[in-house]
Structure 1
């Protein structure tokens, strides 16, 4: 195979190889099932180091374009698409929620943990992936501890181990975020990163912008800080930017909290144009952005670069984590902090917990350095896409027409929007009595909101089918003419959802 390489280009050779092969595969010039040249033969034909070819092949595998067969080499994958060309019918009322920051994160989180430890529970409530193989992790952990030796038992810098920060900086190049290791702070999951950033930017009584709905853990932090919350409603394209500008002008908030990629809880990913417009408004009204992309990397198709990648004046603090892609118990997250904000946040991190577990950092470093993390993400994306399709098909089959839902481009869950008169708490209780646990959408609003459920699709097809069938039957019971004729009042400021065509 002859690949034309520009050895004077700032674009690394391994990326040039990846991009070239990616174009051939996606155009069909290299068909599904075809074997790629061996690492040795390709390195010899284009005169590059074998490690360069390995790196390029690893990226193609992480992109879901190829797969390795033990002892046989690399082969082109069959194209996997969502299979759903229908647009989402998610269209909630566009009403702003003003709140002192009430929330139920503690109750929802602890109830979910308790319920999941019972047998025969189909848990649609979780914001985490399905459990990874413990044997696989044990091997990686053993190798990591062997490599680091006694250093793993010593104290470390509050910003985290340098080798891990270097590996994260390399990883972030792929989604379009170029940062130095010095601009990365390792945290105990993204929850600690959120807490540190919100404590840094906000004081009691400050106004803060959030999307509605939004991550309930962030609402819990804001409530604890005594912040005043302005909930800007989500559209199918992301936060309503017209309403955002109106409240930036009238309330002069101190922070905008946003989830641009695979939004929690809706699963929505915003466009490049939306991200640029949001950043432009933040700059115009001098309001920092906290970008929380905890599910970055779990996309089914290409997504725009983070808002932080567009930031040239240090308006954006970026947060992500490995807890949502590896396992919940591995509490390793990170912040990308540039400019004058970095040093104060490092000091705040030191006062919070000195540093993240050196053992956990060593394990994540080994996963990244060995290429296992890329391969793990590729497998997880493929599995999640298949399960997402199963859930979407089950929703079409079993849910009443009066229910709307989002069609995510990745992540772990989707969002269902119920008619106003439905009693969401009673529905959740009825579902749990039949061993189906769902996340009550009320937890994702800072007060008010509309009845909704967040549904995690990281389950077996059989469990998804059974769980959605049960939920569909419960919802239909509450949509009978007898129940509707009772004239129950709507909950909060909500708009009745029309029937899907």
Structure 2
């Protein structure tokens, strides 16, 4: 295999090797199933270190173009990167369709978050409450971090742009176009300290104390907590199996003239629901009719097992939608790198608010996220994460079918981290939680996800635990539920 290299070019050698082999594959010169040269043979042929060839093959593997077979080497794939068949189970969720306009606020997001952080200190606790992915794929972190540090070492002693490093924003724009069909430029992106900061910035920009805002009911409890502190009047539109009840949404857009709609359209937190293309089009149409901005918070996009419809932002022709994403759920929470996409008149105002919050996101963590994308490791990590999440998702559903009472209902999400469990109205949820805690199974009340802190009895269960902990935890929880229902 002949691979010409330009050793004076700025592009790293391993990426030049990747590009040449990718061309040979996509042009048909290398056929599906054909074996690539061994790492040693190719290293000797092009006169590079074996680690350089390993990096090139790793990126090709992340791109789904080659696969490694234990003890045999690397082979050209047939371009199918995900052969897992999605579960044929269907959601049994049957929530009451009651709009929530709270006169008081309920249980604290902060309390549940701190309980989950505390649970991490005890390895024997099975924590079904957290919103974190499990540690995975860390073997590349040290090498990627070292490479990232060398690229930004000369700018660590100065401040950076509040909207984020241009290289990362350009990479994100390309990734969003490739993954989601969202055509934006680097000048539409703002890098934030996780998606939580992006939420705060957007709420601060669009809302003032006393304004009405629409949220889904249930919804992300962190968003509820921010709105509560801001003094926003919330309208909770109930969720159905296919998403927010749009008939009720239309009614309250007309009657209350809210200033913002907050929605999680893909892998909804906490229910895991992904709305259809038709649902998204109707939502956009309603927002345009009443000139109501939409904040689309898709923190779990990228963890779907099957393709999801394009985000609402793709359908946005009136600059009404601000889109939020993050690496916290798809890579690692500790990086604290999120982003928001804004277009039209809103962008510069959001950048100015960001500047007043914290000047800029850590130069180092931005560089690490950038290197993950550039090297292809991010795409490979996502493929790996989806695969292990799919196994755990299916095991939790199987275990629930086996151990839970027949009166319990739940969603069947197409990815993400959560399954939403609807319990009978008579369930003593606090007692169930206490009894589970004595068995070292941590479950959080679903009440924190409702704007009034009440709602119907429910649980949000995280399936990112180990397979052993999922089966043992669901078995214990099933026994407790049978005793109390």
TM-score category, normalised to shorter length: 0.7 to 0.9
CA shift at 1:59, angstroms? 8.7
Q: CA deviation at 1:429?
A: 1.5
Report if aligned partners of 1:413, 1:454 keep a CA contact under 8 Å in 2. yes
Matched, 1:86 2:84: no
How many aligned positions are there? 438
- Distance in structure 2 (CA, Å) of the matches to 1:94 and 1:437: 29
Matching residue within 99, 102, 113 for 1:99: 102
Kept in 2, the 8 Å contact 1:100–1:229? The answer is: no
Tell me the equivalent position of 1:283. 288
Map of 1:302-321 to 2, 5 A cutoff?
302-321=307-326
Supply the distance in 1 between the matched residues of 2:82 and 2:281 (Cα, whole angstroms).
34
Q: Is the 8 A contact 1:457 1:464 kept in 2?
A: yes
Is the aligned partner of 1:140 residue 2:141? no
Aligned-CA RMSD value: 2.5
Residues 390-420 of structure 1: per-residue CA shift (max 9 Å, x gap) = 1010000000001001000010111000000
- Asked if 1:194 is matched to 2:195, the reply is no
Q: Secondary structure at the match of 1:91?
A: coil
1:221-278 per-residue CA deviation (whole Å, 9 max, x = no partner) reads 0001100010000000000000000000000000000000000000000000000000
Q: What are the within-5 Å matches in structure 2 for residues 485-496 of structure 1?
A: none
Structure 1 range deviating more: 133-142 or 204-213 = 133-142
Q: 1:305 to 1:68 in 2, by over 3 A?
A: farther
Matches within 5 A, 1:20-59: 35=33
Are 2:459 and 1:453 equivalent residues in the alignment?
Answer: yes
The match for 1:497 is none
CA distance in structure 2 between the partners assigned to 1:60 and 1:171 by the alignment: 17
Offset of 1:300 from its aligned partner?
Answer: 0.1
Alignment of 1:238-277 (within 5 A): 238-277=243-282
Q: Unaligned stretches of 5+ in structure 1?
A: 1-13, 25-29, 41-53, 480-501
Alignment partners' CA distance in 1, 2:207 and 2:61: 42
CA distance in 1, matches of 2:215, 2:367: 34
Contact kept in structure 2, 1:254 and 1:288, CA below 8 Å: yes
TM-score scaled by structure 2? 0.86
Distance change (3 Å), C-alpha of 1:99 and 1:57 = same
Aligned pairs for 1:461-476 (under 5 A) are: 461-476=467-482
Distance 1:310 1:57 in 2: 35
Q: Which residue of 2 aligns with 1:67?
A: 67
1:367-394 Cα distance to aligned partner (Å, 9 max, x none): 0111100000000001100110110100
Whether the 8 Å CA contact 2:136–2:385 is kept in 1: the answer is no
Structure 1 residues 79 and 66 mapped into 2: Cα distance closer, same or farther (>3 Å)? farther
Matches within 5 A, 1:298-337: 298-337=303-342
Matched residue, 1:354: 359
What's the secondary structure of 1:329's corresponding residue?
A: helix
Quickly say closer, same or farther: Cα 1:117–1:65, change in 2 above 3 A.
Answer: farther
3-state SS of 1:117 partner: coil
Aligned pair 1:379/2:377, yes or no?
no
Determine the C-alpha separation between the residues in 1 that align with 2:390 and 2:209: 42
Q: Give me the whole-angstrom Cα distance separating, in 1, the residues matched to 2:367 and 2:474.
A: 40
Q: Secondary structure at the match of 1:439?
A: coil
Report the Cα distance in structure 1 between the residues aligned to 2:34 and 2:182, rounded to whole angstroms: 29
**Can you give the 5+ residue segments of structure 2 that lack an aligned partner in the other structure?**
1-18, 39-54
The TM-score normalised by the length of structure 1 is 0.83
Following superposition, the deviation at residue 78 of structure 1 comes to 7.5
What are the Cα deviations for residues 293-333 of structure 1, in whole angstroms up to 9, with x where unaligned? Answer: 00010000010000000101100000010011111111000
Displacement of 1:87 after TM fit? 1.7
Q: Report the equivalent of 1:44.
A: none
CA contact (8 A) 2:301 2:325 kept: yes
For the residues of structure 1 that align with 2:325 and 2:371, how far apart are their CA atoms?
Answer: 18
Structure 2 counterpart SS, 1:73: strand
Q: Distance in 2 between matches of 1:57 and 1:272?
A: 35
Residue deviations 1:187-246 (CA, integer Å, cap 9, x gap): 000000000000100000100000010000000000011000100000000000000000
CA distance in 1, matches of 2:249, 2:442: 34
Contact 1:166-1:181 within 8 A present in 2 as well? yes
CA distance in 1, matches of 2:34, 2:474: 41
Alpha carbons 1:59, 1:374 under 8 Å: kept: no
Q: Are the equivalent residues in 1 in contact too, given 2:277–2:310 (CA < 8 A)? A: yes
Q: Which residue of 387, 411, 430 corresponds with 1:406?
A: 411
Check conservation: 1:190, 1:321, Cα contact below 8 A: yes
How far the C-alpha of 1:143 sits from its partner, in A, is 1.1
Contact 1:288–1:315 (CA under 8 A) maintained in structure 2: yes
